[in-house]
Amino acid sequence: MTDPAPQNRPMALAGLKVLELGQLIAGPFASKLFGEFGADVIKIEPPGTGDPLRRWRVMRGDTSLWWHVQSRNKRSVSLDLKSAEGQDIVRRLAAEADIVVENFSPGRLEQWGLGWADLAAINDRLIMVRISGYGQTGPYRDLPGFGVIGEAVGGLRYLSGHPGESSVRVGVSIGDSLSALYGVIGALLALAERRQSGRGQYIDVALYESVFGMMESLIPEYDGAGIIREPGGSALPGITPSNAYRCADGTEVLIAGNGDSIFKRLMTAIGRDDLGAEPALAHNDGRTRHAARIDAAIEAWTRQNDRARVLEVLEAARVPCGRPYTARDIVEDAHYAARHMIETITTADGESLRVPAVLPRLSRTPGRVGGGGPALGEHTRAVLDELGIDRATQQRLHAAGVLHDPDTGDRA
């Protein structure tokens, strides 16, 4: 791990051109990752409103604070994709791009003459990341699908929560983010293959499949043993002990003592060497059959100690443990600080803002945070200049509502 490097550091994806035709979370999250490692990301947004994420969750002024993470290192071009002239500009951009990222409903880009076949005919080296609820094929192809629906159909939502209670969603858009990661992995694989073939290809990412890909032993346990995995609350069923336990001060601690040697150290630490030496509990399969007894023994000890003491004892015994972190805990944590995982930027309003650093951490060509998200259409003029579209044409398109250039004034 390295400290933040100077601005002239090498960038892993320098020279790569990415065109983003998406909004909200999955597609923009994918292109954000490209931009953080040096790719030139051009984000297309509709005139007037822009990406709806600009107004999601907590606002400062007229801009979402989330926007300054999701859209950093991008150039905003405000363009009406429904117009013939706007579509022509996208084709010209795609002709020069390495990667196009899109998360429209399947068939929408094809209606505009901007689908895979259309763009590949212009640029046979193009790589296209297509993210949708159910994928580009299949009987559910045309159904609308947001991340939470992908989490449900992918199997995650059923397992979230406590037995007999309503399912609980993860507190972030995990289905969208997983899909973005799969999309980036697919694009990088396609880039590697393109070095051999000289040809591009498209990556078909479905929200539900991205979640399904994380479901571990769900299907083989059903097929091989007839087991339908059920929600386990705070525990990790079948892996023992791994649970949340209450402490004497009413707080909660997470303990993962499921390795064979770790379990013995844990039992010694809580004064239960008898359980640590019990042959039936030597391995995980045996411990799982006695999970309730083991959890009861652990919580009998944690309830006699406050959380600070529990963590102190278990850390000394080399037993994985921790407490649930809030945002304040993260910002104030010494390890986060030592790893430079929180960086401070200055947004367009002149205010400072702390944001997450870039992941993954590369030792020689690390990523960059850059500034905040761009204003709507901030780079329209510069990008169209690069395409060779003269200013008179730009002004005409602006007046017609095809594009928005804030330097020209509001399109209305």
> Distances from the Cα of 158 to the Cαs of 171, 211, 349, in angstroms?
15, 12, 43
Q: Are the C-beta atoms of residues 44 and 28 closer than 8 Å to each other? A: no
Which residue has tokens 């071009």? Answer: 77
176 among known catalytic residues: yes
What does the alpha-carbon distance between residue 353 and residue 186 come to, in Å, rounded to a whole number?
A: 32
What does the alpha-carbon distance between residue 205 and residue 178 come to, in Å, rounded to a whole number?
A: 10
Q: To the nearest 10°, report the CA torsion of 138, 141, 142, 146.
A: 150
- Please identify which of the residues 176, 204, 295, 405 carries the catalytic annotation: 176
DSSP string, 197-260: H----EEEEEHHHHHHTT-TTHHHHHHHH-------TTS-TTSSSEEEEE-TTS-EEEEE--SH
Please, where are the H alpha helices in 66-170?
A: 67-70, 84-96, 108-111, 116-122, 147-153, 156-159
Grouping H, G, I as helix, E, B as strand and the rest as coil, residue 5 is: coil
Cβ contacts of 292 within 8 Å, gap of 6 or more: none
Query: What residues act catalytically?
Result: 176
